[in-house]
Amino acid sequence: MIRASSCIAAAFLGVFATTAAAQIAAQLTDFRPVTDAILANPDPADWLMISRTFDQQRYSPLDQIDKGNVGQLRMAWSRGLPNGTQESTPIVYRGIMYL
């Protein structure tokens, strides 16, 4: 009985390790570092630094939100924070927001 449970545990561990390795490998092959050239000319959907560009224009060329639909925006989620000062600059790169 102990041998059977050891075999099952070893098989599970092997499947888990293989799956985890495949996911890590997929992320590494998709990795693209942010270069000076990307920072100088960011994709319209990316916000890679404070104020978005080196000249700090704070302008987003995206057009999904405009004067006609801005009033329809509603809170989707919120997160309570402990008392004190909380500041961060959200960074958006390739569709993922980092806080």
Please indicate, yes or no, if residue 78 is contained in any of the structural domains.
no
Write the DSSP symbol of residue 70: G
Calculate the dihedral angle through the C-alpha atoms of 24, 30, 35, 38, rounding to the nearest 10 degrees.
-140
pTM, entire model: 0.56
Are residues 90 and 58 part of one domain? Answer: yes
Residues 40 and 16 in one domain: no
* pLDDT for res 26: 62
* Structural tokens at position 5: 């449970």
Q: What share of the chain is helix, strand, coil (3-state, %, to 5)?
A: 35, 5, 55
- Shared-domain flag, residues 55 and 99: yes
d(C-alpha 47, C-alpha 96), whole Å: 10
Same domain, 7 and 55: no
Q: Residue 4: inside a domain, yes or no?
A: yes
pLDDT digits (tens, 9 = 90+) for 81-92: 888 888 888 899
Per the structure, the complete domain to which residue 55 belongs is given by 33-63+85-99
pLDDT grade for 34, boundaries at 50, 70 and 90: very high
Per the CB < 8 A criterion, the answer to whether 26 and 18 are in contact is: no
